[in-house]
Amino acid sequence: MGELSLRPVPTPTGRAAGPTPLNALGDNILTTQLDKVINWGRSSAIWPALFGLACCAIEMMGTVGPRHDLSRFGSELFRASPRQADLMIVSGRVSIKMAPVLRQIYDQMPEPKWVIAMGACASSAGMFNNYAIVQSVDKIVPVDIYVPGCPPRPEALIDAVVKLQRRIRGEPLVKRSA
Amino acid sequence: MADVFIEPRVHGSREEGEAEWMDLNMGPQHPSTHGVLRVKLRLDGEVVRDAEPDIGYLHTGFEKSFEDKTYAQGITFSDRMDYLGPPINNVGFVSSVEKLLELEVPPRAQAIRVMMMELARLGSHELWLGTAGLDLGVYSGFFYAWRDRELILDLNEAYSGVRMMTSFTRVGGVAWDLPDGWLDQLQKFIDVMPARIDDFESMLTHNPIWLERLRGVGPFTAEQAIEAGVTGPMLRASGVDYDVRKAFPYSGYEQYDFDVPLGSNGDCYDRYRVRVQEMRESLKILQQAKDNLPDGPWLTNNRKVALPPRTELSKSMESVIHHFRLVSEGFKGPVGDVYSFVESPRGELGFYLVSDGANKPYRMKVRPPSFCNLQPLRELVRGVLVADVIAIMGSMDFILGDVDR
Amino acid sequence: MTESTANELVRKIQDAFPGAIQESSNFRGDLSVVVDPDSVLEVARHLKDVEGYNYFLYATAVDWPAREPRFTVVWEVRTLPPRSRLRLKTTASMPEPRVPSLTSVWQAANWHERETYDLFGITFEGHPDLRRILMPASWEGHPLRKDYVSFGEPVIFSDQKLENLEPDAIRG
C-alpha cells in the first residue's frame, strides 16, 4: 500500500477555511438567512459522481432507472468528471488496487462534497474480510451516510440521499412530527 | 500508479520514426468501461496504436474466500462474482459440488433452476443493451432496459426475497419451492416481453447511426476467436457453434427446444444481433419450462447433504441429527477434482473444484468468461478510433466482478 | 469422457512420449494426466496439433504444502467442435517453482498464467510478459498460497472488552 498517501490533517472547509466575502461579515441575521438559501440550493441539486464499482452500481443504476427515479430528488445527472460533482456514492467493494484511485477522485471533487458509502462492502467490507478489500471506505475518505444492504434496495439509496439533503440543510436527519 | 505509460520493450509496441504518441489512461473510473477497468491507450491522434487492459481493480479474493467456507456458505459468495446474473453463478457453483458428489438433482429443481437462469440471462442482456447503448448515445434505451429489468427483479424478489443476489440453490436442488402466483407473474412477463424486445429492435437494428457505429467495428474471425479462448456471444457472433446448453446440456436443458443464434463476421453488430436473438430464445425456454414444470420435491432426499424439511424435525430424531451435522459442520466430499461449467450470458462459466475430503473446497478455481473474453482486447482495438474502442468494449459485455474475482 | 476413449488417448500420448505421463485419472468423467515438467511443452504441442485440442479453457495451480512437489499446475483444454476435454497437469516444487509456459501452444494461456504467477508465485518459463495482473505491481507475497494468511480485521462483538486488543483491531 505504498502508493496511498493521506493528508495528516483534514482540509479545513466552510468557515474554518478562512474568511470569504460571505462569512467575513460574521454571523448575523443576513448571513444565516443567506446560508439557508445556499444550503437549500446545494441540497436540491446534488449531482453524484459516477463511482460504480461492483454489484451496488447495478442497484445504483436501478435507482436512476424509471421505477425508482433519483432525479426527482435533484440528482438529475451522474457526472463522469469529478470536477463537476458534489456527491460520491461509493457503490461496491473497494479493492486495495482501487483505493488510491478512490482517494484521487475524492480529492479532485471541489468543496463542498459529501460521500455516501453504499452497501455493506463500502461501509465495512461486507462479507469480504480478507487481503484484497479495504475494510470500509471510511479508512480512505470521510463518509457522511452509510447505507446497509447487499446490495441496498434503490429505496434505501433514495432514503440515504434524502437524509443527506436534510443534513445539508441543517435539519435533523429524522423528521419528528410535531 | 507509477506505470501509467506503456513501455515499448515490455509491451512490444514500436516507435515509428517521428510519430508522436500520446499515452492516455482510460479508467479505472470511466463511464464507459463498465466497471473498474483501466485501459492504457497509446494514441496517434485519435487512432489507437496500442492498448493494454489493466485489471485487478476489483480483485476480491473470492477463490481464497471459498477455501475458508463450507459448500453451503460458498453459495452466497458465488452470487457476487458475475453480479449481473447471480442465479447462474449459484447454479454453476452447486453443480460442481453435485458433480463431485455424483448427486442427482430432482427434475422440479432442475426446471426451477432453468427458469431462474433464463430470467437472469434476459436481465443481463437487457442491461447490456441499456449500458452499451448508453455508451454510444442511446440514452432512452437505458430506461427501456430498466423498465424490463425491474420486472425480472420483481420475479427474483418474489421467489427468493432478494432482487439481485438470489442464492437460491442448495447442493442437491433449490432452497424453496415456487410461491403461489409466481407462475402467473411469470406468464404475464413472458407475454409482455416479446413486444418490448421488438421495441428495442425497432429502435436500434436498422438505425443508421447504430449501424454506422457497430457494423464492421472490431471484426473477429472464427479462428481468432478459438485461438483467443473466448466463449459466449463473442464466439457465436464469429460463427462458431458452441453453446454449453446444447453441447453439454445440464440441468435438464436437453428437453427444451431452442436455437442458438450465430453471427457471420464477428463484428459488434453481429454480437448485438446474437444477444437480442438469445433473449427471444430465452423466452421460448421459459415458456417451455413453465408449461412442463414437473411436480415433486425441489431438494434431494439425501439427508447427508441437504437439510431435511422443518416439519420432519419434530417427528424424527435422525432428522434432527442430520440437521445439526449439516448446519454446524456441513457435509464432506470425496477426494478428487472436477470441472463443471454452465452458460452464463457472457460465455462459459466454469468451476474447477479440488477437494481433499474436507467440508470445504480445498481449491475452487473459477473460470470466468469475462476474463477470457477481455484478453483479445489488445488485438481487437489496434488501429481503431477511440470511439470504436468504446463500442468494442461495450460489445464484449464483460463484468469486472467476473474478470477480477 | 468415457473410459475407453480416455484410455486410448492416454495410450496414444504414452506411445508418442514414453515416460512422460506420471499418472492419469478419469474421475467423474474428467480425464487428467500428470506429465513431468520437462515434457509438458511437447505433450501440449502434440495435443494441439495431432489430437485436436485447440481450445484453451483455463490454467491454474493447486497448493499442497504438505506434499513434495508442492504445486500442481493445471491447464484444461478442449476440442472444438466440442467432443472432449483434457486436464493437463504438472508439478513444481519450492523454493523456486517453475514450469514451462504453454503460451506458445495456446495463446489464450497468457493471462491465465500471469494470474497463476501473481497468486501462487510460479514462474512460467517462456511467457512473453510475466507480471502481476490482479494484485498491485508492488505487492509482496502470493495470496493464494496456503501459508499466506488472508488478513482482514478481527470481528469485535459487543460483549468483548476493548482494552486488551491492539489499536488496529479497534476500528475507530
Q: Is residue B308 part of a domain?
A: no
B26 and B87 in a single domain? The answer is no
Which among C156, C153, C147, C150 has a CA at the least distance from the CA of C135?
Answer: C150
Does pLDDT of A89 surpass 80?
yes
A151 and B164 within 8 Å at the Cβ level: the answer is yes
Residue B309's pLDDT band, with cuts at 50, 70 and 90, is confident
Query: Is residue B175 located within the same domain as residue B275?
Result: yes
> Cell triple for residue B30?
470511466
Q: Is residue B200 domain-resident?
A: yes
Half-sphere exposure in the Cβ direction for C126 (13 Å, CA): 11
Among C30, C132, C137, beta carbon nearest to B339? C30
Nearest-neighbour CA in chain C from A69: distance (Å):
35
Predicted confidence (pLDDT) per residue in B32-65, tens digit? 667 888 888 888 878 888 888 888 888 888 888 8
Chain A residues with CB inside 8 Å of B80's CB?
54-55, 127
* pLDDT more than 70, % of chain B: 95
Q: Which of A67, A81, A135 to mutate to test the interface with B (most CBs of B within 10 A)?
A: A67
Residue B229 zone, left/alpha/beta (φ > 0; ψ -120 to 50; rest): left
| Digitized pLDDT (tens) for each residue of chain C, 172 residues in all | 677 878 888 888 888 888 888 888 888 888 888 988 888 888 888 888 888 888 999 999 998 888 888 899 999 998 888 778 889 899 888 888 889 998 888 888 989 999 999 999 899 988 888 888 888 888 888 888 888 876 666 666 666 665 555 544 433 2
Residue A80 counted as domain residue = yes
Query: How many domains does one find in chain A?
Result: 1
Looking at this protein, which amino acid is placed at residue B315? K
Query: Which pLDDT tens digit goes with each residue over A31-88?
Result: 677 778 888 888 888 888 878 888 888 898 889 889 998 888 888 888 878 888 889 9
Q: What is the pLDDT of residue B2?
A: 43
**What stretch of H or E contains B201?**
helix B182-204
Chain C residues with CB under 8 Å of B405 CB are: 134
AA identity, residue A126? G
Provide the pLDDT for residue C11. 83
Is the separation of the CB atoms in A131 and A71 below 8 Å?
no
Name the band, by pLDDT with cuts 50, 70 and 90, for residue B4.
very low
Q: Is residue A22 part of a domain?
A: no
What total number of domains does chain B contain?
2
Q: What is the ipTM of this complex?
A: 0.86
Question: Is-cis flag, bond preceding C95, omega within 30?
Answer: yes
Mutate: best of B363, B398, B402, partner C, most C CBs <10 A: B363
CA atoms within 13 A on the CB side of A63: 30
Residue B11 above 70 pLDDT?
Answer: no
Q: Does B192 lie in the same domain as B77?
A: yes
Question: Cα distance from C107 to chain B (closest Cα, Å)?
Answer: 6
User: Alpha-carbon distance A89 to B30, whole Å?
Assistant: 14
pLDDT at B119 over 90: yes
Q: Are C120 and C146 in contact (CB under 8 A)?
A: no
Find the angle CA(C135)-CA(B68)-CA(B70) to the nearest 5 degrees.
Answer: 140
For residues A96-121, average pLDDT: 88
Residue among B339, B340, B374 with most chain C CBs within 10 A, to mutate = B339
At residue A143, does pLDDT exceed 60? yes
Contact B1 A98 (CB under 8 A): no
Distance CA B217, CA B236 (A): 16
In a domain, A78, yes or no: yes
Q: Are residues B141 and B241 in the same domain?
A: yes
B315 touching A (Cβ < 8 Å): no
CA distance C153 to C132: 25
Confidence grade of residue A166 (pLDDT, cut at 50, 70, 90): confident
Rounded-to-integer distance, Cα B174 and Cα B351, Å = 19
Q: If pLDDT is split at 50, 70 and 90, which confidence band does B118 have?
A: very high
Dist. CA C114–CA C100, nearest whole Å: 13
Record: contact A135-C153, CB cut-off 8 A: yes
Q: Return the ∠ at Cα B227 (arms to B223 and B232), rounded to 5°.
A: 85
- In angstroms, what separates the C-alpha of C166 from chain A's closest C-alpha? 16
- Provide the domain limits for residue B27: 8-54
Q: Sign of the C-alpha dihedral, residues B307, B310, B312, B315? A: positive
Residues B27 and B160 in one domain: no
Give the three cell numbers for residue A175.
423528521
Is A1 inside a domain boundary? Answer: no
Mutate to test the interface with C, among A123, A130, A140 (most CBs of C within 10 A): A130
Asked if the model's pLDDT at residue B351 lies above 60, the reply is yes
Which CATH number among 3.30.450.40, 3.30.230.10, 1.10.600.10, 3.30.460.80 corresponds to the domain C3-169?
3.30.460.80
Whether residue A20 is contained in a domain is answered as no
Please tell me the distance from the alpha carbon of residue B14 to that of residue B12, in angstroms, as a whole number: 6
- Residue C79 burial (CB < 10 Å; 0-12/13-18/19+)? middle
CATH of the domain at A107: 3.40.50.12280
A128 contacts in chain B (CB < 8 Å): 60-61, 65
Residue numbers in A near C136 (CB within 8 A): 3, 96-97
Instruction: Name the least confident of A159-168, B8-17, B31-40, B254-263.
Output: B8-17
Distance CA C77, CA C58 (A): 7
| Residues paired with C34 in a beta bridge | C23, C89
Domain annotation covers residue B223: yes
Cβ–Cβ below 8 Å for A130 and C150: yes
Cβ contacts below 8 Å, chain A against chain B, sum to 100
Burial of C131 (C-beta count, 10 Å sphere; 0-12/13-18/19+): exposed
Nearest by Cα to B236 from B125, B347, B398, B350: B347
| B337-361: average pLDDT | 91
Q: CATH number for the domain including B358?
A: 1.10.645.10
Question: CB within 8 A of B203, min separation 6: which ones?
Answer: B138, B140, B141, B144
**A:71-100 residues touching chain B, CB 8 A cutoff:** 78, 80, 82, 92-93, 95, 97-98, 100
Same domain, B235 and B137: yes
Grid coordinates given for C68: 513434495
Give residue A21's pLDDT band: very low, low, confident or very high (50, 70, 90): low
Contact C167/A at CB under 8 A = no
Which pLDDT score is estimated for A130? 82
Interface of C with B (CB under 8 A): 27-28, 30, 32, 54-58, 60, 62-63, 74, 76, 80-82, 85, 87, 106-112, 115, 119, 128-129, 132-137, 143-144, 150
**pLDDT at residue B182, as a whole number:** 92
Of residues A154 and B2, the one with the higher pLDDT is A154
Structural domain harbouring A51 = 27-168
Q: Which of the listed residues B36, B54, B72 is the one where a domain comes to its end? A: B54
Does B35 touch chain A if contact means CB atoms closer than 8 Å? yes
- Give residue A126's pLDDT: 83
Identify residues of B whose CB sits under 8 angstroms from chain C CBs: 2-3, 10-12, 55-56, 59, 61, 63-65, 68, 99-100, 102, 226-229, 240-242, 247-248, 336-339, 348, 350, 352, 354, 362-363, 365, 367, 371-372, 375, 404-405
B325 found inside a domain: no
- For residue C81, give the 3-state DSSP assignment: coil
Residues of A near C (Cβ–Cβ under 8 Å) read 2-3, 96-97, 125, 128-133, 135-136
Q: What is the 3-state secondary structure (H, E, C) of chain A?
A: CCCCCCCCCCCCCHHHHCCCCCHHHCCCHHHHHHHHHHHHHHHHCCCEECCECCHHHHHHHHHHCCCCCHHHHCCCCCECCHHHCCEEEEECCCECCCHHHHHHHHHHCCCCCEEEEEHHHHHHCCCCCCCCECCCHHHCCCCCEEECCCCCCHHHHHHHHHHHHHHHHCCCCCCCCC
Answer whether A131 sits within 8 Å of B61, measured CB to CB.
Answer: yes
Q: With an 8 Å Cβ cutoff, is C19 touching chain A?
A: no
B134, pLDDT greater than 90: no
Average pLDDT along chain B: 87
Nearest Cβ partner for C150 among A97, A125, A131 = A131
DSSP tag of C154:
-
- Looking at chain B, which residue has its C-alpha nearest residue A100? B1
**A149 domain residue, yes or no:** yes
Which pLDDT tens digit goes with each residue over B149-199? 999 999 999 999 989 898 899 998 998 899 999 999 999 999 999 999 998
- From chain A, pick out residues whose CB is under 8 angstroms from the CB of C153: 125, 129, 135
- What is the predicted pLDDT for the residue at B1? 37
- Tell me chain C's radius of gyration from C-alpha atoms: 20
